[in-house]
Each structure stands twice: as structure tokens, then as C-alpha cells.
Amino acid sequence: MNSNSLVSIADISREEILSLLERARYFEEHPNSKILDGRVVATLFFEPSTRTRLSFETAVNRLGGRIIGFSDPGTSSSAKGETLKDTIKMVSNYADLIVMRHYLEGAARYATEVTDIPIVNAGDGANQHPSQTMLDLYSIYKTQGRLNDLTITMVGDLKYGRTVHSLLMAMKYFKPKFIFVAAKELAMPQEYKDFCDAEGIQYTETTDFSPEVINQSDIIYMTRVQRERFTDPMEYERVKDLYTLHNAMLADSRPNLKILHPLPRVNEIDIDVDDNPKAYYFEQARNGLFARQAIITRALGINPLDTAEK
């Protein structure tokens, strides 16, 4: 495995996370530094995406690199039965870095085992989404001025939501308090609650998205109920409309509260929240560009601070 790969947020230390956040800040100030001249990045998306793929590709374009890849696996030879192993080995002949989204948990880890070039996991099933976590951390830091000692309420699909799983693991360094709001069918999986227990992270669970919960939160992290993860359509129908955040529910919330959502949303945040200054999800997605510029340059072993004009 190439040690510059980013497969799980658990693969990187607190210091590396803080260093990536510092890089993201640099790129927010210098988004068009041409430091990837001659580098080729492949984006292989076996699942749909808007933000992750386009922000990775924008990140490369703004840094002067080149992009190859596919957004629809139906246009690649995987549609003819080519294995993931062979696809990764082929693309490794052409690119310096692979950014991959796949519907199978563990696919990105597997990819690191069949190539020497770095792999960045852009989401593997319900498992991990580490680049989303970096932009989430950057968004939390920008809006709260710190990462430590925050109350973070996660709402919605906590079972299949890879973004909440990654974020929960990354926050272990920053003494969070979590409130998990979910229907029993979509509760935070036991392995992540065990993780919290092992790391001494406080959490409470509730099915009630109550004023008491909202009004003690510094961050409310809303999530979509992901139809594509359900094997039973009736179960999806039962839980899909349980939690919707409306503007009126924020009347007595903390002044510093920010509403995050990895997006896309369906109906879990009413559009009447969009004009509330506490709504941060569109800026959050914009931060993805800078966080991914940081991740790409780390993966390619390029330090923008070394190449910056003095």
C-alpha cells in the first residue's frame, strides 16, 4: 500500500489532520497554484456523485494537473466484466493518483493492495468517506473557531451514513459530545458506539429531534435517508420522512450553531432553513474544494508551502 493513500480517516493522525486543515486554509487563499503540472489524476466513480467528483476534478484543474476517469462505470470495461483489480492495475499505468468511489465496503482498501500508486477513498458503501470528513472538520473549525469540546448532533441515517461514521472517528482527538438522533432501524451501529466507549467519547441516543436537543447543539449534522442502501423498499418508506429540520425549530438555538449536511438533501432540511445564517451546507460543500486540494497534494507528496513564491 502506498503510504500516501487515504482510505479511512483512522489511517491518519491528529497531527496529519491538523496539517491537512492548514493546507486547506492555504488553498482557500491560493486556489489556483499551478503545482500539479505534469501530474495525472484518475477519478473512478462506480456510484453517482456531484460534489465529491466535481470538487476533486476542480481541485486538480485549479492546481494545473490533468484528469482522466469515468463518472458512470457503464462506460468502462467493468461493464464487460473486468474485475476491480484489473481496472485499478490498468489505470495505474496511466495516472499518478486514483480517487475512487465504490458501492462495496472495503473496495478502496482492496485497491491499495493491487497498486503502488496512492488511492483516495471517495466513499466505499456505508463504510468511510474521509475526504468528506476533512471538509466537515474544516467547516467546523472555520465556523466554531475550534474543534475541541463541541456538542455535535447527528440526525437521520446513522446506520448507513458513511459521512457520520468517518466524522465520528475523526472527532476522537477533540473531546466531542455526540447526540445521535435516529429511528431504531437507522441507529448508529454498535461498532461506532463501542468506538466511542473505547475512546471515552460521550454520547446519548434518542429518537426525538426535540427543542432540548437542538438548543444544546453547536453543530447539527443532518443526513439523507439513503434509498440506495436499503434492500427492503418498505423499510425505506417507513423511515424516509421521520426527520425534517424547519426554520422555526431554530428559534432558540445557540448563536454559534451551524447546520451541516454532506448533501444531497431530499426533504430532511426544509428550504425555509436555507436563508438562516445558521445554514452552512452550501459553504460546507465549497470548502470541499480546498480540503480536496490539500488531500491531493498530500497524496502526491507535494507541499504547497514549499513551492509557494517567497
Separation of alpha carbons 307 and 310, rounded Å: 9
Which among 58-66, 164-172, 226-234, 259-267 is the span making contact with ligand CP, rule CB under 6 A? 259-267
b/e code 7-17 from CB counts within 10 Å (16+ = b): bbbebbeeeeb
Q: Which CB atom, from 176 or from 262, has the smaller least distance to ligand CP? A: 262
Q: Which CB atom, from 39 or from 265, has the smaller least distance to ligand CP? A: 265
52 is catalytic: yes
Find the binding residues for ligand CP in span 111-170 (CB under 6 A). Answer: 123, 132
b/e code 188-217 from CB counts within 10 Å (16+ = b): beeebbebbeeeebebeeeeebeeebbeeb
Smallest distance, ligand CP to C-beta of residue 55, A: 8
Q: Does 49 bind ligand CP (CB under 6 A)?
A: yes
> Which residue in the list 80, 184, 231, 310 is annotated as catalytic?
80
> Which residue in the list 23, 39, 51, 258 is annotated as catalytic?
51
> Which residue in the list 23, 39, 43, 52 is annotated as catalytic?
52
Task: Dig out the grid coordinates for 59 from the structure.
Answer: 481541485
Question: Beta strand 66-70 with 40-45: parallel, antiparallel or unpaired?
Answer: parallel
> Pick from 263, 273, 279, 296: which binds ligand CP (CB under 6 A)?
263
H/E element holding 88?
A: helix 84-92
Separation of alpha carbons 169 and 153, rounded Å: 14
Q: Which CB atom, from 35 or from 273, has the smaller least distance to ligand CP? A: 273
From residue 216 to residue 255, the character string flagging contacts with ligand CP as x (rule: CB under 6 A) and all else as - is ----------------------------------------
b/e code 72-97 from CB counts within 10 Å (16+ = b): ebeebebeeeeebeebbeebbeebbb
Separation of alpha carbons 100 and 115, rounded Å: 13
Question: Beta strand 119-124 with 97-102: parallel, antiparallel or unpaired?
Answer: parallel
Q: Which CB atom, from 49 or from 247, has the smaller least distance to ligand CP? A: 49
Smallest distance, ligand CP to C-beta of residue 16, A: 21
146 is catalytic: no
> Pick from 9, 20, 44, 51: which binds ligand CP (CB under 6 A)?
51
Question: Residues 123, 129: contact at Cβ < 8 Å?
Answer: yes
Q: Which CB atom, from 50 or from 206, has the smaller least distance to ligand CP? A: 50
Smallest distance, ligand CP to C-beta of residue 309, A: 33
β-bridge mates for residue 121, sequence order: 100
25 is catalytic: no
> Which residue in the list 23, 39, 109, 129 is annotated as catalytic?
129
Question: Residues 68, 95: contact at Cβ < 8 Å?
Answer: yes
> Which residue in the list 39, 62, 101, 292 is annotated as catalytic?
101
175 is catalytic: no
The shares of helix, strand and coil residues in the chain, as percent rounded to the nearest 5, are 45, 15, 40
265 is catalytic: no
Chain contacts with ligand CP (rule: CB under 6 A): 49-52, 123, 132, 262-264
Return the active site residues: 51-52, 80, 101, 129
